Amino acid sequence: MKQIVSVGTSHHVAPIEFREKLAFSEDQLIESLQQLHNSYQFQESVILSTCNRVEVYAVADSQQASPPPATILIDFLSQYHNIGIENLKKWSYQYNNLETIRHLFRVTSSLDSMVVGESQILGQVKEAYDLSRTVGGAGDVLNRLFTKAFNVGKRIRSETTIASGAVSISYAAVELAKKIFNTLEDKTVAIIGAGEMSELTAKHLVSNGVSNVIVANRTYQRAVEIAEKFKGIPVAYEKDLSFLIDADIVISSTEAPHYLIEREPLAEIMRKRKYQYMFLIDIAVPRDIEPDVSKINHAFLYNIDDLEAVVTSNLKDRKQEAIRAEQIVSDEAKRFHDQLQILEVNPTIRALHQQFQQVAESELQSCFGKTELSEHQEAAVASMTQAIVKKLLHHPVHNLRQSVNDGNLDHGQYIHALQELFALDNNNDKEQS
């Protein structure tokens, strides 16, 4: 029998200082996967290493003598990264079998992510799995497990809205802009100031279709530096706001002590624009844009509190959807675990049936060779023999399968006992399964 184990750490349990010590480079990943197979006798392994988590998934023989596989993984990580055992145990977690399956499903579904519903983790797990397959680390069990994990992750995203709704200020701005304009293609965004948040928001807007960027700053050289990042147009800030004549979206984030965009100058700009929609995002504290700007026809003003309200609402919706997603993960994990257990017992059951059938067939042929029975009589004896074989095997097979269905952790011992008692050889059967 095989067992699936995992040992790891993440942002949930360990500070970044510890996660950095446990991280793997790509070369280290390849080397470690080979060590786990050659020196630590793990049949299969996958190592996931990101900025938020480091996890090792491995398959071991459950009949393996102590120490337990999880303890061996802890020892491996301790030696490889030169981290004390006790320190490693303090900042890590370990799972076995069903717990491991459920944890991986939660990871690929982004339920275990810092931001629930984010999509990056699914790609990161795929990269880790693909690397393991390349070097021969993933075999039959982990191939099945990770393929199922990817399917569960996709199912969560298709059957729930866990990934919908912006959960960052910058993405909230993009979400609102899309509601106002329907499409951001061919739109122009103007950045006022050089704040990090305004740059990030502009970056998301550009990635969503905005084609032109204007950067305004009191210091022209600073405007040039920012504009270069977006292949945009640098301009010097002017109080008459003439630089906004072509702007559909305005992002302002400065440290100015007074309003940089006031109602009257902007009203004149809007008149010249023939009142085409303008979306203004004021991320500054204190505010850069006079609140009365929102009274101008077709001018839509949102400040940092408005955006945070959108984020809070979306996070609340995601948490509600996460409850549904957790149930899907639990159901899928239990179903997959049961399937693995059945796959484990089937070769033994087939080998047991095969052995009894061979013995019965051999004895029948011996009997028929010593007697003068008619074809009808031989058929009757053979039928009776088959019935006896079925009845003899009924209870052992039924109880073995029932132990799996009931989640009995001793079914591995039952299989081992049957193999020993009947001298079963189901290696060839396993290969065919």
Q: Residue 428: what pLDDT?
A: 44
Q: Which residue has the higher pLDDT, 242 or 119?
A: 242
pLDDT for 165 beyond 80: no
pLDDT tens by residue, 266-305? 999 999 999 999 999 998 888 999 999 999 999 999 998 8
Superfamily of domain 2-159: Glutamyl-tRNA reductase, N-terminal domain (3.30.460.30)
Domain spans in the chain, listed from the N-terminal domain onward: 2-159, 169-297, 342-432
Q: Taking a C-beta distance cutoff of 8 angstroms, is the pair 325, 156 a contact?
A: yes
pLDDT tens by residue, 69-81? 999 999 999 999 9
pLDDT tens by residue, 195-239? 787 888 888 899 999 999 999 999 999 999 999 999 999 999 999
Count CB-CB contacts under 10 A for residue 276.
10
Q: Taking a C-beta distance cutoff of 8 angstroms, is the pair 31, 131 a contact?
A: no
Q: Cα 261 to chain center, whole Å?
A: 44
Query: Which of 16, 39, 51, 312 does the annotation list as catalytic?
Result: 51
pLDDT for 433 beyond 50: no
CATH topology of domain 169-297: Rossmann fold (3.40.50)
pLDDT tens by residue, 1-33? 588 999 999 999 999 899 999 999 989 999 999
How far apart, in Å, do the first and last CA atoms of the chain sit?
15
User: Is residue 68 packed enough to be buried (19+ CB in 10 Å), middle (13-18) or exposed (0-12)?
Assistant: middle
Strands (E), 84-193: 93-96, 188-192
The model's confidence at residue 316, banded by pLDDT at 50, 70 and 90, is confident
pLDDT for 404 beyond 70: no
Q: Which residue has the higher pLDDT, 143 or 114?
A: 143
Count CB-CB contacts under 10 A for residue 425.
11
Q: Residue 430: what pLDDT?
A: 44
CA dihedral (390, 392, 395, 399) positive or negative: negative
Q: Angle at which helices 140-159 and 120-134 pack, to 10 degrees? A: 160
The model's confidence at residue 407, banded by pLDDT at 50, 70 and 90, is low
Catalytic-residue membership of 367? no
